[in-house]
Structure 1
Amino acid sequence: MLNDRKDLTSGSTAMARVLSRFRKDEDGAMIIFSLFMFVMILWLGGMSVDLMRFETTRAKLQGTLDRATLAAADLDQTQPPAEVVKDYFRKAGMIDFLDGEPYVEQGLNYRIVSAAAEAEMPLMFYDIPRVFTQPFNPGLTALTVSGTSSAEERVTDVEVSLILDVSTSMSGSRIENLRPAARNFVTTVLANNTNAPQGLITISMIPYSAVVSPGSAFDTHMNINRTHSYSNCVLFESGSFNSIELDLSQPHDHVAHFDPDWFTSDSNPIGNPWCPTGNNNAIVPISTSVTDLHTAIDALTPYGNTAIDMGMKWGVGLLDPSTRTVVNQLVGQNVVPGVASGRPYEHDLEDVQKVVVLMTDGENTTQYDLKERFRTTNSYFWFDRSSNPTGELHQIPLDRISVQVNGFSTSENYWDDRFYWMRERGEYYQSDRVRKYPYGYASQWAYVQARQTGAIGINDVGDGPSYLGNIHNASWQEMYANWEYDRITYDLLWYPYNDGDIPWSAGQVWSQDNSGNWTLVYLPDYTDAFYSIDYEVVNNSQANDRLSALCARAREAGIVIYTVAFEAPADGRNALLDCASSPSHYFDVAGTDISAAFAAIASDIRALKLTR
């Protein structure tokens, strides 16, 4: 028994020693800690992966929503908007995520498309701790990825000035390429327009050459220092190009009515006046009519020099509130649609966009006009109108025309007046009276009495006086309205000059009146008529400066300026690049590419807006 107790005691002691050693032994302790840390790192890293997967899925879902709603809201989209959204999701492999039917609201001038999508994304690593706490509970935690998008294309209040070069260089293929490009631009911009006061686009078309013709629409609404009644083009002081205002109530000088005959053959009356008559190449103001604008575009006729600054002056003027009074008057005359009443709006309105589209194929050239004397005074030419009192002067034959060659200094009696009679049977005469036909020459006394009695009528502004017996002293403006520039000098003045009846330059002679008194008479400079055109109204450099200043003021006012250089030379390209709102608003094109440029601009004007 004693031995058994000893053995038991000895075994217990040994076990105690083993347990004591095991308790104190630290071998393997790091393995447990490492396993714990590995699980934690795996869990935290995995959660990052889950979050990255979530963000990637969310971005893809939102991107698909945005692209789908933008495409569906495009007013040019011909497919049903809801189907467009679904098609985008199908092709992205996400059709199952689309949450219900897309919402579509649309009208004549707007379309709104909204859509929502939702997807559940299981988190692969988020539930790792559950393996230790709930090892027999299946299923993974999931996050819901959702997104919404709404896109809107709405035709807000837009005012456009389409400024088109119709100078001589636009002849041929250039004008033929411009017409469809401009027509398509008008159609695109005015598509889905509405007759409501809000959300309306209007276009003013301003053709320009060396001048801009306001046409008959503006005839009674401009304060012109009129020198004739043939056309309505005006000149602007250079200082006015420092402002986009266009106050038509202020007096403006009148462009003379003449044809320099540089680009045309002989014609009577003049075939291509420097300022077009009637509504030829005239402004179409504040229009919503595709038909009216297309008709005006098709009728454009190239002629004359290039004055980009003049086209721009009218273009920005028709976007400036300074012309609102005139526009409202045109509304009352049914020239401008009533829905456009109150335009042009102020520049700082949030929902109003003003746009200029300026096109040229050239560069600024010299702007001409008649010299002042030929704009406002009477000529040397006298006409017998007895057979046709109201007819055009160019219809009166040469044998009823007289050219005054003497007697210019007398103001109360006319005994010393002398006249050169134009052709009759190849002969020429000088007489003391105006010629009558046939052979019914008025006596000198009858002529003097008629002059002393005074004029019995002036037909219109700028015309010369008519006297008893249908004798008419034409103004220079009448002469230039009936004969081309060189026809006056070579067909009418050449004969008396060649016969020695008028001097080449100004001179002086002694003249005796009916009382025997001698007077030193200074002859006029007939050769002025050979050089009657003022070649320095505005030159290239001045016009470029005026254009640059005007464009700067327009940009400051918030007007968006697109420019199109159509096969233009370097100087013209530089001027348009300087004028544009930015280099991306400038187009340099040739041939039929002008259509692409106008299409791109039209698309910008109707740009989509992502609303939320």
Structure 2
Amino acid sequence: MLFDRVKRFSKDEAGGMLVLMLVVFFGITIFGGLAVDLANHERTRTTFQTHLDNAVLAAASLSQNLDPEEVVRSYLTSAGLDPSEVAIDTSEEKIGGILVGRTVEASLPAGLNTYFFRFFDIDTLGMTITSEATERVEDIEISLVLDVSGSMTERSSDGSRMIKLDLLKNAASDFVETILSDSEEGRVSISLVPYSTKVNPGSALLGQYTATQEHDYSHCVDFDASDFTNLGINTRAELQRTGHFLIGSDSTWTPMTGQWVCRFDGGFAVTPLSSSPAELKTQISALTGLGSTSIDMGAKWGLALLDPSAQDPVSGLIAAGQIDPAFQGRPHVYGADNSMKVLVLMTDGENREEYRLKPEFASGRSDLIRTTYGSSTYYTVESSENWSENDGDRTYPEAYFYAQHPFGSQRMWSTDTIANNSGYRFADRASEERLDWPEVWAEMSPYYYGYNMYGRRFDNYWSYRAALYRDYVQWTVDATEKDRRLRQICGVANAAGVVIYSIGMDVDNTNSLNLLKDCASSEAHYFDVQGLEIQTAFDMIAASISMLRLTK
């Protein structure tokens, strides 16, 4: 009986599909559960990876000054993760004490409790999250500020006895070649800023700013003390154009001797944001030494061309075809990622007085009348004759002093200008023009004017009166004030993150050496050199900056 039942059951196919469905159901449930565990694992890994990536990116940033390890741990804590297990490795690259690159690596072990893998005796799915971030300097903006004052034409103090300017030209040319050789397009720019008594930005660059228009003989501007509290130059604020006049002359015979306050000779104008070694080296080779020393003026223009306020002028010069379009948007804002601003400031001396014309002699109508006929030029001063200036003739007072005239060499006054004087036989063919003050100073020095147009009105003391007049029409910013301005703007630049290298060549003034040292970003960025050592200084600076360029 029992045997028959078993035999019938084995042949009975009713309910077979149910068994199959149960097997399939349990299989789907188990593998679906495993998939849920795996999906949770991947979602958790992705979340952890995102938080760790953000942490190491923030830690690697060159713009943050905190401990990179603390930055990573802080980020993980803020994300609700346990930072105690994270392993962090940090490496930094420095040049002359300046941080130029940072790499942060982090590894975070973690695990996820399972729901279905535990049926296979797997309670936890482990994971290790890793992340790495590197930030390095890539874009480099350099202002090369060079002293080309008169003392640079002297021989160096070392045994070579070579001309200092020649040594500077060689060193600066090699510097340019080293920095720009094989540089990636649009990455590295050099602005060349020569200076002596003033800096001449040139007509094109100054034309991108707002300057007064007393003359167009030269293109320097005057800065006030407040202009050295910031690095940029406001393109909308009116700049005072420097008076175009000669200093350092005591000639009474030659009107055009002395030194122009604002030099306009070849090579002296600023070259902004160039990446052409040939262009820069051509200008360097054309440099000549003349004039006084204004280190503060050189630093001001050098830093202005590193300041973001120069972006509009740079755009204007790009549109005019004078700057490479690759530099659109330069100079970068301070603290921009992967960028660095560098000022190289060189001098062979110390700040000297800066000469300026008084406003009443810088523009407007003068008292001088110029009369010309053929190759002859005469000058008449409109100034009423007084008792101390009487020329001894019977007419008194007369309105015009003939400073230089066709009637001989004696002091002479007249009631008419030369072209209206009936005694001058070419009067009807002579041309006559009242000069503005800028036209006067373009033709003669203040001392020459003071002697011939003013002093000779009197009977005596002509040279004494010439010196008085020269000092009357001009004023100076003294060296102490200029030192204060330089120290102030260097402080602002260092606070903004500009890397400043300073070079003193054959400088024997302790105050000037201390000023250069204070201006530099650190003692490692300051070079006190003699003669041929200037080559070594520029080579060391170039090598440091080239290392920045090569860390891309």
TM range, smaller chain: 0.5 to 0.7
Could you say which residue in structure 2 is the equivalent of 1:116?
none
Q: Which consecutive unaligned segments of at least 5 residues does structure 1 have?
A: 1-151, 389-394, 409-414, 448-467, 506-525
Shift of the 274–396 alpha-carbon distance from structure 1 to 2, 3 Å rule, reads: farther
Per-residue CA distance 1:496-546 (angstroms, 9 max, x = gap): 22389x9x99xxxxxxxxxxxxxxxxxxxx98634235343x212211111
Q: Measure how far apart 1:427 and its partner are.
A: 4.1
Q: Measure how far apart 1:176 and its partner are.
A: 1.2
Contact residue 299 and residue 345 of structure 2 kept, 8 A = yes
C-alpha distance in 2 between matches for 1:559 and 1:481: 39
Amino acid at match of 2:408: R
Could you say which residue in structure 1 is the equivalent of 2:166?
176
Amino acid at match of 1:596: T
- 2:293 aligned residue (289, 292, 306): 306
C-alpha distance in 1 between matches for 2:227 and 2:495: 16
Could you say which residue in structure 2 is the equivalent of 1:216?
203
Q: Measure how far apart 1:262 and its partner are.
A: 4.4
Q: Which consecutive unaligned segments of at least 5 residues does structure 2 have?
A: 1-133, 155-162, 387-395
Amino acid at match of 2:480: S
C-alpha distance in 1 between matches for 2:367 and 2:210: 30
Question: For 2:535, what is the secondary structure of its paired residue?
Answer: helix
Pair 1:566-2:505 in alignment? yes
Could you say which residue in structure 1 is the equivalent of 2:238?
251
Q: Measure how far apart 1:430 and its partner are.
A: 1.9
Contact residue 366 and residue 535 of structure 1 kept, 8 A = no
Could you say which residue in structure 1 is the equivalent of 2:459?
498
TM-score (norm 1): 0.60
Amino acid at match of 2:383: V
Aligned pairs (5 A) from 1:85-234: 156-172=138-154, 173-195=163-185, 197=186, 200-234=187-221
Shift of the 202–264 alpha-carbon distance from structure 1 to 2, 3 Å rule, reads: farther
Shift of the 219–164 alpha-carbon distance from structure 1 to 2, 3 Å rule, reads: same
Could you say which residue in structure 1 is the equivalent of 2:483?
544
Shift of the 372–528 alpha-carbon distance from structure 1 to 2, 3 Å rule, reads: farther
C-alpha distance in 1 between matches for 2:517 and 2:535: 19
- 2:270 aligned residue (279, 283, 295): 283
C-alpha distance in 2 between matches for 1:470 and 1:555: 58
Contact residue 374 and residue 532 of structure 1 kept, 8 A = no
Amino acid at match of 1:494: G
Amino acid at match of 1:158: I
Contact residue 170 and residue 302 of structure 1 kept, 8 A = yes
Aligned pairs (5 A) from 1:152-551: 156-172=138-154, 173-195=163-185, 197=186, 200-262=187-249, 268-269=255-256, 272-277=259-264, 280-385=267-372, 387=373, 396-397=376-377, 400-406=378-384, 418-421=399-402, 422-423=404-405, 424-436=407-419, 439=422, 470-498=431-459, 529-536=469-476, 538-551=477-490
Shift of the 220–579 alpha-carbon distance from structure 1 to 2, 3 Å rule, reads: same
Contact residue 205 and residue 285 of structure 1 kept, 8 A = yes
Question: For 2:247, what is the secondary structure of its paired residue?
Answer: coil
Per-residue CA distance 1:58-87 (angstroms, 9 max, x = gap): xxxxxxxxxxxxxxxxxxxxxxxxxxxxxx
C-alpha distance in 2 between matches for 1:265 and 1:181: 41
Question: For 1:316, what is the secondary structure of its paired residue?
Answer: helix
Shift of the 437–425 alpha-carbon distance from structure 1 to 2, 3 Å rule, reads: farther
Shift of the 484–266 alpha-carbon distance from structure 1 to 2, 3 Å rule, reads: farther
Contact residue 257 and residue 273 of structure 1 kept, 8 A = yes
Q: Measure how far apart 1:264 and its partner are.
A: 9.2
Amino acid at match of 1:156: E
Question: For 2:192, what is the secondary structure of its paired residue?
Answer: strand
Question: For 2:264, what is the secondary structure of its paired residue?
Answer: coil
Question: For 1:471, what is the secondary structure of its paired residue?
Answer: strand
C-alpha distance in 1 between matches for 2:423 and 2:279: 54
Amino acid at match of 1:246: I
C-alpha distance in 2 between matches for 1:158 and 1:610: 11
C-alpha distance in 1 between matches for 2:255 and 2:401: 23
C-alpha distance in 2 between matches for 1:283 and 1:182: 15
Could you say which residue in structure 1 is the equivalent of 2:538?
598
Question: For 1:344, what is the secondary structure of its paired residue?
Answer: coil
Contact residue 258 and residue 270 of structure 1 kept, 8 A = no
Contact residue 360 and residue 572 of structure 1 kept, 8 A = no
Shift of the 264–192 alpha-carbon distance from structure 1 to 2, 3 Å rule, reads: farther
Amino acid at match of 2:493: A
Question: For 1:498, what is the secondary structure of its paired residue?
Answer: coil
Per-residue CA distance 1:184-232 (angstroms, 9 max, x = gap): 000000011232x4xx111001111121101132242221123222111
Aligned length: 397
Per-residue CA distance 1:391-420 (angstroms, 9 max, x = gap): xxxx643xx322223189xxxxxx986112
Largest Rg, 1 or 2: 1
C-alpha distance in 1 between matches for 2:551 and 2:218: 50
C-alpha distance in 1 between matches for 2:459 and 2:379: 17
